[in-house]
């Protein structure tokens, strides 16, 4: 086997010179500082805030500007330079309307951007930087980055290039290219630890942006999985994502993003609930981006009620088809006494805010009416016809997984199901009993069976059903609570039946010994290793910390979504992992893209040092470094073979 491998390797490096040159190249790369990794979680459709955090790299751009210019520039000058780097096209329009001596501004700004480019590219090989350069300006940027105006022999040369850019009217395009390059080089890899969808208006815009990002991975959250299930054709998932969109008066993603036709649902709801106030279903307008008038609010409330009841009926069918889920206790409609206005749960009667369900019969409470079935058929057709949704499903499959091990970090959105004693919970799934890593691997496999075009496979229907289970199932690693009590939250005032009991993992992850067991289970190695989660917002306002288990667990869901701001007291956490160590960034709410552009209003962030090492982490210390070291060893063996032949 080794002989065959070396023969194949020899075809790529056929001479001693070629093999030796590659060894030198790889060993040089191993000695570079590791690239910066950027971690975000629970974005929940907040596109403007997400876009800004990506542009400013959670403050990394500000730090680079401060490191490069220090006291050489005034704070306002550094601030203006950062804003230009974030939004070059928009800021250029403002500068051109305000600046008296534009040529001088261009000249000064170009020199400053070149200096920042040099700084952010210093940890990469020239080859890697060259591959990232915009084609139109590749040669010019390379010349400017590798020639210094401090060298008296090159001063005239550098200034001639800058003068030519300005004189030929290419300043704007060149500045945009340089700013885009800086954004690209500041962050080497982006990790999204789940829940891109729901609540906010721009999940589709976020996914469009992710699709263009240079290096990104996604760990699916339950909100992502229910949308993936909807895209794959699970009608219960379709009803669920529509209900969530209506709950937050967010129709942008459905209608503008994916072209879903909501008219059949609206028509049905207006007819069936014409005289129904639908009070419990009034959307959460506080966080809506659109100012809805009273008429539209009423229509959304009617649609919200209609799809909620349809969802609860469809869930019953899933529970019947999959008795191993043990989720029949979530059926509620047959327990409602519409005449008395109560529902009986666990032997206790609770008064209901709205017990009027005109489409629910006593004889067959979970059977869809002809009107409801017609609505669902049309909605399913609309979801199936959405090319943009299909494109985003492919992106989520291509870039996503249930978990990721990367550079000593284990990333997963919510949990690994566990028992109270710290052992991994054994779960029966598709005729197998699995726990820990094998269970998450099986979940990942089933997701791909459900979402990829393999409908003739025996497991397809079961896998498709499970797409809803990952959203709200008790043993779902992307959820892991005993129930999702949306029926109770909508219709009951009593808080007791609304309670959602978290799985043991959420408490056990505070124990460093348990965390070591989890990290061992997933094969995570290294002196400094961590679990990185989202899913459960860290209530900073109540004194909760994102750092758990003596620094082994980092929970970076701090409430990126606006509906969580009051609950958490902040607007989210992000994590930056560079060659010096790890920093958590605690964000204040983002005001708006417009203010960021016009007034330079940045997201205010407070940085907390999680870990710092006086010895910088090099490429050789990373997962990629281990691969490169193995390649070096292989090439050295090939070199030995060549030398023996010469002898």
What residue segments make up the domains of the chain, in order of their start?
2-31+623-646, 37-193+534-617, 218-376+424-502
Confidence of residue 5 (pLDDT cuts 50, 70, 90): confident
The reported pLDDT for the residue numbered 89 is: 93
Dmax over CA atoms of the chain, in Å, equals 98
Angle between the 263-272 and 294-321 helix axes, to the nearest 10 degrees? Answer: 100
The reported pLDDT for the residue numbered 572 is: 77
Taking Cα atoms as reference points, which of 58, 88, 57, 84 lies closest to residue 73? Answer: 84
Burial 34-69 (b: 16+ CB within 10 A, else e): bbbbbbbbbbbbbbbbbbbbbbbbbbbbbbbbeebb
The reported pLDDT for the residue numbered 100 is: 87
The reported pLDDT for the residue numbered 133 is: 86
The reported pLDDT for the residue numbered 191 is: 97
Q: How far is CA 522 from CA 91, 226, 410, 429, 483, in A?
A: 46, 25, 8, 20, 27
CA distance 378 to 555: 40
The reported pLDDT for the residue numbered 325 is: 96
- The whole-number average pLDDT for the span 274-289 is 88
Name the range with the highest mean pLDDT among 169-173, 190-194, 566-570: 190-194
- The whole-number average pLDDT for the span 365-371 is 97
- Angle (CA) 379-303-257 rounded to 5° is 50
Is the pLDDT higher at 208 or at 58? Answer: 208
Confidence of residue 601 (pLDDT cuts 50, 70, 90): low
In this predicted structure, the answer to whether residue 602 has a pLDDT above a threshold of 80 is no
CA distance 420 to 425: 9
Confidence of residue 234 (pLDDT cuts 50, 70, 90): very high
Taking Cα atoms as reference points, which of 213, 294, 291, 205 lies closest to residue 256? Answer: 205
- The whole-number average pLDDT for the span 524-529 is 89
Question: pLDDT digit string (tens) for 331-347?
Answer: 999 999 999 999 999 99
Question: pLDDT digit string (tens) for 386-401?
Answer: 999 999 999 999 999 9
The reported pLDDT for the residue numbered 514 is: 97
pTM of the model: 0.92
List, in sequence order, every residue forming a beta bridge with 342; answer none if it has no partner: 337, 351
In this predicted structure, the answer to whether residue 287 has a pLDDT above a threshold of 90 is no
The reported pLDDT for the residue numbered 604 is: 65
Looking only at the bridges linking them, the beta strands covering 605-612 and 581-587 are antiparallel
Question: What are the helix and strand counts (H, E) for the chain?
Answer: 26, 17
DSSP string, 93-114: HHHHHH-S-HHHHHHHHHHHHH
The reported pLDDT for the residue numbered 122 is: 85
In this predicted structure, the answer to whether residue 432 has a pLDDT above a threshold of 90 is yes
Mean of pLDDT over the chain = 91
CA distance 28 to 403: 31
Taking Cα atoms as reference points, which of 223, 227, 233, 236 lies closest to residue 476? Answer: 223
Confidence of residue 429 (pLDDT cuts 50, 70, 90): very high
List, in sequence order, every residue forming a beta bridge with 530; answer none if it has no partner: 409
Confidence of residue 605 (pLDDT cuts 50, 70, 90): low
Confidence of residue 149 (pLDDT cuts 50, 70, 90): low
Confidence of residue 209 (pLDDT cuts 50, 70, 90): very high
In this predicted structure, the answer to whether residue 603 has a pLDDT above a threshold of 70 is no
The reported pLDDT for the residue numbered 148 is: 62
The count of residues in the chain is 647
In this predicted structure, the answer to whether residue 443 has a pLDDT above a threshold of 90 is yes
The reported pLDDT for the residue numbered 73 is: 92
Residue 503 · residue 417 · CB < 8 Å: yes
The reported pLDDT for the residue numbered 154 is: 72
In this predicted structure, the answer to whether residue 142 has a pLDDT above a threshold of 90 is no
In this predicted structure, the answer to whether residue 206 has a pLDDT above a threshold of 90 is yes
Question: pLDDT digit string (tens) for 620-636?
Answer: 999 999 999 999 999 99
Q: Which of 60-74, 120-134, 189-203, 230-244 is the least confident region?
A: 120-134
* Residue 331: Cβ within 10 Å count: 17
Residue 140 · residue 117 · CB < 8 Å: no
Q: Which of 42-56, 153-167, 500-514, 585-599 is the least confident region?
A: 585-599
CA distance 474 to 484: 9
Q: Which residue has the tokens 């409470």?
A: 365
Is the pLDDT higher at 588 or at 642? Answer: 642
The reported pLDDT for the residue numbered 413 is: 96
List, in sequence order, every residue forming a beta bridge with 219; answer none if it has no partner: 401
> How far is CA 1 from its chain centroid?
41
Question: pLDDT digit string (tens) for 246-280?
Answer: 999 989 999 999 999 999 999 999 999 999 999 99
Q: Which residue has the tokens 């070096």?
A: 632
CA distance 369 to 269: 13
CA distance 113 to 182: 8
* Residue 127: Cβ within 10 Å count: 9
In this predicted structure, the answer to whether residue 330 has a pLDDT above a threshold of 90 is yes
Residue 87 · residue 601 · CB < 8 Å: no
The reported pLDDT for the residue numbered 153 is: 67
In this predicted structure, the answer to whether residue 454 has a pLDDT above a threshold of 90 is no
Taking Cα atoms as reference points, which of 74, 93, 97 lies closest to residue 84? Answer: 93
CA distance 535 to 477: 11
The reported pLDDT for the residue numbered 151 is: 64
Angle between the 102-121 and 60-69 helix axes, to the nearest 10 degrees? Answer: 110
Q: Which residue has the tokens 């059949």?
A: 264
* Residue 387: Cβ within 10 Å count: 9
DSSP string, 180-241: HHHHHHH-SEEEE-S--SSSSS-HHHHHHHHHH-SSEEEE--HHHHHHHHHHHT-HHHHHHH
């Amino acid at each position: 086997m080794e002989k065959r491998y070396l023969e194949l390797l020899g075809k790529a490096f056929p001479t001693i010179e070629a093999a030796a040159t590659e060894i030198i190249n790889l060993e040089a790369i191993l000695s570079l500082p590791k690239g910066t990794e950027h971690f975000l979680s629970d974005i929940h459709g907040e596109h403007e805030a997400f876009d800004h955090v990506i542009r400013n790299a959670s403050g990394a751009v500000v730090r680079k500007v401060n490191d490069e210019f220090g006291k050489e520039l005034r704070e306002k000058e550094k601030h203006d330079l950062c804003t230009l780097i974030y939004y070059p096209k928009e800021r250029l329009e403002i500068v051109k309307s305000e600046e008296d001596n534009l040529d001088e501004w261009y000249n000064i700004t170009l020199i400053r951007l070149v200096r920042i480019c040099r700084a952010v590219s210093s940890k990469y090989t020239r080859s890697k930087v060259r591959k990232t350069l915009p084609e139109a300006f590749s040669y010019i940027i390379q010349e400017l980055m590798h020639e210094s105006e401090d060298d008296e022999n090159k001063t005239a040369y550098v200034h001639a290039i800058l003068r030519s850019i300005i004189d030929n009217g290419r300043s704007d395009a060149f500045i945009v290219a340089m700013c885009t390059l800086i954004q690209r080089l500041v962050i080497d890899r982006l990790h999204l630890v789940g829940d891109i969808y729901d609540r906010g208006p721009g999940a589709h815009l976020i996914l469009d942006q992710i699709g263009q990002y240079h290096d990104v991975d996604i760990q699916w959250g339950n909100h992502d999985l229910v949308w993936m299930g909807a895209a794959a054709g699970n009608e219960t998932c379709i009803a669920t994502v529509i209900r969530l969109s209506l709950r937050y008066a967010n129709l942008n993603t459905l209608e503008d993003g994916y072209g879903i036709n909501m008219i059949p649902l609206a028509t049905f709801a207006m007819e069936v609930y014409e005289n129904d106030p639908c009070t419990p279903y009034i959307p959460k307008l506080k966080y809506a981006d659109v100012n809805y008038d009273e008429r539209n609010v009423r229509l959304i409330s009617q649609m919200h009620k209609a799809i909620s009841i349809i969802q609860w009926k469809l869930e019953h069918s899933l529970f019947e088809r999959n008795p191993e889920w043990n989720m029949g206790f979530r059926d509620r409609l047959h327990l409602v006494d519409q005449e008395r206005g109560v529902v009986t749960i666990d032997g206790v009667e609770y008064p209901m805010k709205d017990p009027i369900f005109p489409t629910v019969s006593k004889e067959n409470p979970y059977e869809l009416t002809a009107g409801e079935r017609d609505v669902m058929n049309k909605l399913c057709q609309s979801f199936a016809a959405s090319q943009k949704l299909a494109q985003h499903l492919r992106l989520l499959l291509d870039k996503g997984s249930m978990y990721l091990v990367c550079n000593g970090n284990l990333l997963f959105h919510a949990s690994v199901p566990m028992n109270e004693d710290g052992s991994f919970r054994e779960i029966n799934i598709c005729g197998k009993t699995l726990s820990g890593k094998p269970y998450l691997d099986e979940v990942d496999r089933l997701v791909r069976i459900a979402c990829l075009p393999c409908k003739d496979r025996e497991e397809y229907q079961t896998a498709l059903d499970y797409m809803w289970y990952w959203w709200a199932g008790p043993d779902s690693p992307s959820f892991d609570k005993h129930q999702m009590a949306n029926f109770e939250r909508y219709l009951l005032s009593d808080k007791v039946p609304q309670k959602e009991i978290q799985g043991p993992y959420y408490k056990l992850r505070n124990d460093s010994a348990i965390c070591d067991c989890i990290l061992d289970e997933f094969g995570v190695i290294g002196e400094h290793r961590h679990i990185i989660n989202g899913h459960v917002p860290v209530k900073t306002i109540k004194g909760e910390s994102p750092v758990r288990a003596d620094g082994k667990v980092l929970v970076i869901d701090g409430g990126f979504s606006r509906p969580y701001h009051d609950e958490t007291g902040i607007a989210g956490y992000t994590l930056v992992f560079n060659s010096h160590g790890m920093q958590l960034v605690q964000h204040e709410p983002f005001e708006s893209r417009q203010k960021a552009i016009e007034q330079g209003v940045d997201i205010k962030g407070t940085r907390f040092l999680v870990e710092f090492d006086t010895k910088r982490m090099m490429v050789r210390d990373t997962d990629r470094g281990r691969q490169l070291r193995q390649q070096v060893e292989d090439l050295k063996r090939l070199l030995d073979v060549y030398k023996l032949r010469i002898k």
